[in-house]
Structures are given as structure tokens and as C-alpha cells.
Amino acid sequence: MVDKYLVIGNPITHSKSPFIHQSFAAQTEQNLSYDKQLVAVDEFENFIKQFQAKGGKGCNITVPFKEQAFSLADQLSPRAKAAGAVNTLIFNSDGTISGDNTDGQGLVADILAHDIVIKHKRILLIGAGGAARGCILPLLAQHPQVMVIANRSKDKAITLAEKFGNAGNVSGCGLDEISGEFDIIINSTSASLSNQLPNIDQAIVANASCCYDMAYGNEETCFLTWARELGVLHTIDGLGMLVGQAAESFRLWRGITPSTTSVLAHLRQQLKQS
């Protein structure tokens, strides 16, 4: 019997998850199938219940269903609770559904894979949306010295920072209020996808040793180009985060952590050719 998994979203044709997970399965000799599924916005819960009833083992969840998956899960991991969103559903043998969020773990794993130390460093997180929220707890688990969340809406950044105050030294501010120096700057906004830069002082960027953009494409994002031209030593896009979050989902389902190196290299080559 082949264990069945899906990634569910709307739209979904662009998803690289089937290639990633099929590669992980081949690498670790796991007997499973993994496909992508387009689901109508109002059919999410029905579809999940039907897939579970037919013997499905789990799902990855992408836009726009992460909040619905959060509401549907019977149990939530601390990461999922902190993110307020679920990207991984695990169908348990007792019929219940567990929800987790592996996005932040994917980000942290990718940063560490580039030999960037997070512990005792100063982190600037640009943006206060769902992408930012999903990565704060895993970043704080690495014990940075300080984390500042900066957002166009100052109030949203402050509110988000207050939710994590017990987990570390976290504060929020407006983009025009950023002060001090940072070792690592993470752009969690989608600005790069429309070729726009976050409205922050270039001196803040120039002082960083690492800039990370959660976006990625077949060319370097405008944020990373900007950072590199300002002399930032390490510029990293979000492709490794994509593969890293998938590896963590795979571990949750199969109990084994796959290597991401060859999969990431293959995807990088595909992007260059597209």
C-alpha cells in the first residue's frame, strides 16, 4: 500500500512540492505518492475530510488555506499556534488531525546551512504579515540578542512583537523608525515579487553581514541586489527555505530527515533555465 500525500492550494500549478517530496522519498526509500491538488476556496474542509477518509496520510497547505487548516486541526504545535497558520496536516491513526507550521524551521535551517550564526546576533525582520509571524518563534529559539520587527504599519509591528515578548527580546517599529545596527536582515514582505524595495534607510542594510529575502526567482531579487551592491557579504534568497520547510514536513510524516542539498541544487538549475 502506497501512502498518499498532497499539497493543496488555489492556485497550485506552480507548486514545486511534488518534485521536492518525490525526491525526498526516492532518497530515503519511502513508499509514498505526493501530488498537487487545486481546491475551490469554499471546499477546503470537505476535501480534507474526504482525503483523510480515503486513507490519505497528510497534506501540505499553501495559499489561501493556511488559516482554514489552522481552524480545522484538532491539535496544534506551538509553532502553528505562534504562526496562527498551518502548512502541514498530519492525519493520526485515531482519526484526529494535527497541524504544524514548518515555514520558520525551513528559514532557520537555510540560514544555518549557509554558516550564518543566529545566536547572540541582532535580527531585523521586515514585515509583520503571515510570513513574518511564522518564522519568529523558530528564530527566537536560536537565541538572538535582539529582534526588531519593522513594518509599514507601526501598530501591526508592535502588536506582533508583544505576542512574542515572553520568548525573547522582541520589539516593533515603523520602517522609518529603524535605528541601530543589525547582523541579519530578513525581508518577509512580498515587495520583491513586484520588483520593489522595502522603504528603509540604506545605511541600515549596508551595516548588515547577511540579508535574506523570502522571495526567490530565476534572477536575484531586487532586495538582494541592493544589499550586495551596498557591500553585504551574504545574500540569500528563499528557495532554500522552501526546500527546508518541505524537509521538516517530511520528517513529521515519515520520522526521517532527508538531505536538502541535491534537491536544492536541482531546483536552482531549473530556475536558471526558466
- Residues recognised as catalytic: 66
89-94 contacts: CB < 8 A, separation 24 or more? 89/48, 89/58, 89/59, 89/60, 89/61, 90/57, 90/58, 90/252, 90/253, 91/52, 91/56, 91/57, 91/58
How far is Cα 14 from Cα 108, in angstroms, rounded to an integer?
24
How far is Cα 26 from Cα 18, in angstroms, rounded to an integer?
12
Q: Are 74 and 98 in contact (CB under 8 A)?
A: yes
**Helix crossing, 261-273 with 239-254: angle to 10°?**
140
